[in-house]
Every structure is written in C-alpha cells, then in structure tokens.
Structure 1
Amino acid sequence: MTPLSPPAMLDVTCLRRVRPWGADAVDIDIADGRITAIRPAATDPIGVREFDGRGLLALPGIVNAHAHLDKSWWGLPWQSYGGEGGTDGRIRHERAQRDALGIPSIERSAVVLRELVRHGTTAIRSHVDVDLGVGLRGVEAVEQAAARYEGALDVQIVAFPRDGILRRPGVLDLLREAAGRDSVNWVGGLDPATIDRDPVGQIDALVALAADTGVGIDIHLHDPAELGAFQIELLVERTQRHGLGGRVNIAHGFAVADLAPARRRDLLAAMGEAGVSMTTVAPLRNAQLPLAELDAAGVALGLGTDGIRDLWSPYGTGDTLGVAWQYARAGGLVRDDDLLRVVKLATSAGAWAVGRELHDLVEGARADIVLVDAENPMDALVRQPERALVIAGGRALHVA
C-alpha cells in the first residue's frame, strides 16, 4: 500500500466569530499552541492565519479516553468477522490473523488517527498490545504514526497485555520495558480472574510495576457482577495501600452496572475515596454505567471508541462524540443538564484521562478546539453534525 502522506497542518493565530459552548460570539487568540485571549468578536477583515468561525459552536477538542490505535484493518479490504466469540476466543482469532493483515504497523495506526482527527479528537489514551508475538512493535508503530503530527495531536499509550500476563511468562518483562518509554504512561491488565485465573497475582504484579516505575494502571475488566466487584475491591485496596490514587483506571467495569443499588453505592464510594476512575465505550449489549451515581461518588468517567474495525468487531467510526450520543441514548438521558454533562465527558471533563488539569475554552488552556454547526452542545450531541474545523495545539488538522 502507498504510504499515507503526512497530515496537513496550519498554524492558527486567531479563531474569529465563534460561540464557545453556545455563548455569544468571540475571537480566540492563539500563540505557542495555547489560548492567549478571548475577546468580543471584532468586525475587521480576517487576517493571515486567522479562521472565520462564522458563528459556529466551539467545543474543546474531543478526548478519546479508550482507543486501540494499533489494531484496525481500516483502509484494507473488508474483513469478515470470524473465529470464536468471548474474550479468549477473540484473542486466539486475532493472534492467528493479525500478521497477514500487517497489524500492527505505522500505516494502520495512521489511518485510525486520521479518522479520529476528522471526528474532532485532539487527545487520545490508546491501549496498545504488548505480547510475546508482537513485542513492542505496536508501541513503536503508534509512536511513529503519532509523531507525524509533530506534537499537535496528544497521543498517550497504555502498554496492554492483550494475551494475559501470568499465563504468558515474559509478558511482565515486556510491560516493564514498555513502561520505560516516554510515550507509555500506563500499563494495562485484562480480566485477572478469567484470563490469568489469578486475580490477586495479576493485580499485585501490575501494582508493583506501577509503584516501581511511576506509570499508572488502566485495566480492562469485563467480568460481571460479584466476580468483577471482587477484583475492583482488590484494586481499590491496593491503590490506597500504595498511594496510587488518580493513577488507576478501570475500563468497561461491567460489574458496576450489574450490582444491586446498595452494593453499587458502597463500591463506588470506595472507588471515589481511593481515586479510581472508569472509562466506558457505551456497549449496547450491557447496562450503562450510572453517570449520576459516579458523579455523586466522585468517580471520574471517560468515554472512548474502543477498537475500530478490527478483528474483534467490524463496527466503529472513530467518533467519540458518537459514543457520547450512544451513552446518553442508551442511558435514557434527555434533560439539558444531563446532555451537557455527557458532552463535557467527551471534552473538558475528559482532561484527567490524558493527564491534564485544564482542557477547556479558556485563557491558558491548550488550543484544542472543534467547530460544529449546532445551536448549543446539546444540539451537537443529538444531531452529530460534521466537524467543520479541528484545531489541536494551535494547528488546524482538519477543515471540512
């Protein structure tokens, strides 16, 4: 396949006549990749390296808190779903087929990044497979694909042991090696009870690695009900014991939605106290994580796209705002306050997932801005309009 051309990027000095969060029109000045001033919209002509927002709605750049940039076959001929179901069955199918598709590779990751950017994503936390078959090739491919954006696009990596840790001797050493790379901010895990069949062993290994190296933990946990809750409790206890608050995330966490209300309340309270966060991809086959209860307990929640057209599923477009729509619709959220809260999960309130204290349309923030033709954020969520302009780190990466 012909290599993708480097992404076109244009420095922006001012974004004119835009409506942040649906407010009155303003001009947003940008320098050195940051918002330097927000002032009433001027009427003078548009200057060089200025963009006319034409009164469009401005939102902070979309944060994808759970992606898999190394795994997609997007850009290749259609791949029919095959193999067995279930987590272990999908792992076996992927191991058998990925080499023939050139997965992982720089080009496969570059295609996914291009689609994420087109949908307004400016910051990404991506799980990248680390196992005995690919070693660190996936990490290297994602690093190089992201490097094409010269720092404008914020891509952070979770070294993800897709094939288990303890059941594959040598994987823990690979994770430790990955944790030494600048791009790797977290190490992952996968269903300690059902994949490694040793929940205490896998969790203790990950916690020790995090404590030794300074990286965080972002663990896939699909196990339901009490089995899942038991593993969450193990993580909470060890997070508190080792002072890892704010550095441990549970991806999917289906068990939380399965529990009885009183049991869930106590578990979420413990997670909030320990500083354990959650991410969801809003799967339609499961009950959704209860946003109001997470907020009440102080448990941060992020939204992500998961895998996109990969050997696990042919679905996915790379649109995290689309996932936000799915989360709101499936959860029965209809009131303006709730819809706005969901938009913020995908934008400003997703800052924690990429290690930012501030991600918003305010002075001093990184200039990550998305323009859409919508009346307000709620309208943008329910209609999913095309992203008219995507600016990341002060550079225009996509213009519709």
Structure 2
Amino acid sequence: MTTHFPAPRIVRNVRLGTSADAEATAVDLHLDDGVITGIHPAARASDGAPGSAEDTVDGRCLLALPGLVNTHAHVDKSWWGLPWQSYGGEGGTEGRIRHERARRDELGIPSLGITQRVLAELVRHGTTAIRTHVDVDPGLGLRGMEVVREAVADYGDALTVEVVAFPQDGVLRRPGVLELLADAARAGAHLGGLDPATIDRDPVGQIDAVLALAAEHGVGVDIHLHDPAELGAFQIELIVDRAEALGLVGRVSIAHGFAVSQLDPARRRDLLAQMGELGVTMTTVAPLRLPQLPLAELDAAGVRLGFGTGGIRDLWSPYGTGDLLGIAWQYARASGIVRDDDLRRVVDLATGAATPFAGLPEGRLVVGARADIVLLDAENAMDALVRTLPRDAVIAGGRLLVG
C-alpha cells in the first residue's frame, strides 16, 4: 500500500509547465491529503522557509508538469523481465492473436510479477493515471483483471487505473465471451471490442452486443478499431448510432481509429462532427507507418484525444519502454508539429487534458487539483517534449513514487 511512499507537504522551488514564459517565477506547491492546497512564490532558505526534510521535496527550480496519463495500455500481457522473446507468428491482427494465444501460458502471462514491473516502468516515466485493456476470454476468464488489480493495489490510492475488459479473440465468435464481459462489467470494468467487421465478421452484432451490455451495467465502452478507410468509418458510424440510441453520450472511446485519417477531408469532417456531438473520444499509440490522427480537426470537432503506449514488450512486438512522453514526441514529430502552441497542446494531451480517460477531472497544477506532479530539468513544456527528458520526481495522489 502507499504507506511505504512518503507524502510530502511541500514541493519547493518549481516552475509550472503550464506557463508560456521560459523564465516563469518559481513557486512552492503545498499539498495535503493528495490535493494541491496552495501555490505561493518560492520561499528562500534565508527567509526561514518552513518544512522539514522529511515532508519537503526540493524542486531545484525544475519544471513541473501534471502527471502523464496513459490512455491505452496493456499492462497484463508483457514479457518484461523474462529472457528475450523473439517475435514470431504470422503478420496481421489475426496472426498475432493466434501467436499470443499459443504462447501466453508457456510464459505465464498474465503474471503478477510482470504486471508489477510494467506498472513500475510506467510510473518511473511519470505516468500517474492509466486506462488499461485487460484480456478477457474463455481461456483466461477474468484472471487478468484480478492480476492487474492486485498489482495496482501496491500503490494504494496514489496510482489511478481504469480497467477495460478486452475481448482480444473476438466477442461473438467465441461462446461465453459476452457472459464474461457481463461479469467484468459487474466487477466495475468498462467494456472493449475489436474490429467488429474483420474479427467477428458481424459489425452490427458485436457493436450492438457490447454497447447494450455497457448501457445495462452503466459502464463505458472502448473499442479497438484497426479497419481502414470506409470500412472503419462505417463501423464508427454504427458505434455513434448505437451510442445515441442507448444514451451512452460521453461514454464511448475508439482506440486507433486509423480510418479517420484515411478519409477525404469532407467525409472526415462530417464523421468527426458526429463523434463530437456524442462525446466519442479517441486514443492513439502514434503508429509510425500510418498517417496520424489530425489534432486540429479533432479539436475543432470537440473529439478528445489521448495518447497511449499500447503493448510493451509483448508477443505482438518487442518494442516499448513505458514512456508516454515518448509516444507524444512520436506523434508530434510524425505529424510535423513545430509551433509552440501546438507543441504545448501535445503536452497538454499527454498530461492533464487526458485524465478523464482514467475517470478523473481534467488535471491541472492549480489549487484544489489532485496532486499528480512530474518534475523534469527542462526549460519549458516544449523543451520537455522534444527532448523527452528523464523524470526527476513523480508524485501521484500526493505520494512521492519516484525521486
């Protein structure tokens, strides 16, 4: 539990990364019970600054950002800490699913120890809130969810983790999956789906079934959608229609959604407008080989975007470090983002603007906000992004987890 993580009462002498001024005045952040209770000009040691070494973090005039938010993780299915696992199996989503199913028992996945290591890497890189997809299928039942919740319990209420029950191997084509999703929803998980047209070959059936369960149990929906162009857009329209019919406004998210960036501009504008009206959100892992989701157009339509690491060193790919800021850098670089306002917006999406994906209000370094704080040796937020600097300290829910 969090009892082994100290709870500082003052984070002294930091510069707030929300300021556009590289020479922002240093401040002291006062914390109590996991909340920022005061922000004051930094007290000088010669002024007899209050606070003992035990309850004070010396910020050394570092830059302070809100905690990073990983909106799309898979913390249950890594091989982190095991000997190197060579990539195998066939290409494509189906081939990777089969390869993962063939080898996961051999590697002991899901594993409490591995999941703990993955969480530790995310936290080390400044993540304080996570939405993670956890595999649910007849071979696993809800065991993955149990492992994740046990690993998260190590952090008590410091680390915020929202779980999505993820039917990686299909919803309709595997008997018993809908019943497992209902059990997961009763246990408080949101519900996932995967490529309704190409995995289940029944887009209407999968979307209707998953969204109806979510409406029945009062949880959200987060569907992986890799299908391209018009096939993907068709499924997004089905999702939007069912969300409206079932009253799931503001409770549906689409992961990846490659189709959005592959449509012609007029078609994309209309689709994003529909999504914005229903509060449908999107998450991306910023894949390098595909066009990136268009941030300015998403913002104009009111479609919230979040960044995620996806799988980290798993049977789908050996890549991944757990650095969410690195994903934001990848997105910005691949999108050709260079202007200060746009770079700051990317940092915003990697931090406080994404906290609703983890069930929290938007995170800001202001009085009354949750004390999720990351310190870096950067000039400003833009500098922190383009250099993906080491995290000097990580505070989550008022607890010093790193530093």
Q: TM-score, normalised by structure 1?
A: 0.97
Q: Which residue is equivalent to 1:86? A: 92
Q: SS of the residue aligned with 1:115? A: helix
Q: Which residue is equivalent to 2:14? A: 18
Q: Which residue is equivalent to 2:185? A: 179
Deviation at 1:352, TM superposition (A): 1.7
| C-alpha distance in 1 between matches for 2:377 and 2:160 | 25
Deviation at 1:8, TM superposition (A): 4.9
Q: Which runs of 5+ in 2 are unaligned?
A: none
Q: SS of the residue aligned with 1:11? A: coil
Structure 1 residues 293-347: Cα deviation after superposition (integer angstroms, max 9, x where no partner): 0000000000000000000000000011000000000000000000000000000
Structure 1 residues 231-271: Cα deviation after superposition (integer angstroms, max 9, x where no partner): 00001111111111110000000000000011000000110
CA contact (8 A) 1:187 1:216 kept: yes
Q: SS of the residue aligned with 1:55? A: strand
Query: Partner letter of residue 142 of structure 2?
Result: L
Q: SS of the residue aligned with 1:84? A: coil
Match of 1:263 among 267, 272, 277: 267
Deviation at 1:7, TM superposition (A): 9.7
CA contact (8 A) 1:8 1:397 kept: no
CA contact (8 A) 1:152 1:393 kept: yes
Q: Does 1:70 align with 2:99?
A: no
Kindly, what percent of the aligned residue pairs are identical? 69
Q: SS of the residue aligned with 1:42? A: coil
Structure 1 residues 22-73: Cα deviation after superposition (integer angstroms, max 9, x where no partner): 5311000101111111111111355231011010000000000000010000
Q: Which residue is equivalent to 1:40? A: 41
Match of 1:355 among 353, 359, 380: 359
Q: Does 1:320 align with 2:324?
A: yes
Deviation at 1:12, TM superposition (A): 1.1
Q: Which residue is equivalent to 1:60? A: 66
Deviation at 1:357, TM superposition (A): 2.0
Structure 1 residues 104-134: Cα deviation after superposition (integer angstroms, max 9, x where no partner): 0111110100000000000000000000111
CA contact (8 A) 2:76 2:134 kept: yes
Q: Does 1:158 align with 2:154?
A: no
CA contact (8 A) 2:34 2:399 kept: yes
| C-alpha distance in 1 between matches for 2:385 and 2:351 | 12
Match of 1:384 among 369, 385, 388: 388
Query: Partner letter of residue 368 of structure 1?
Result: D
Deviation at 1:354, TM superposition (A): 1.1
Give the total of aligned pairs. 393
Structure 1 residues 270-294: Cα deviation after superposition (integer angstroms, max 9, x where no partner): 1001110100000001100000000
Q: SS of the residue aligned with 1:172? A: helix
CA contact (8 A) 1:7 1:397 kept: no
Query: Moved runs in structure 1, 4+ residues, more than 3 A?
Result: 5-8
Q: SS of the residue aligned with 2:201? A: coil
RMSD: 1.2
Report which stretch shifted further, 201-210 or 22-31: 22-31
Q: SS of the residue aligned with 1:99? A: helix
Q: Which residue is equivalent to 1:114? A: 120
Q: Which runs of 5+ in 1 are unaligned?
A: none
Q: TM-score, normalised by structure 2?
A: 0.96
Structure 1 residues 139-176: Cα deviation after superposition (integer angstroms, max 9, x where no partner): 00000000001111111100000000000010010010
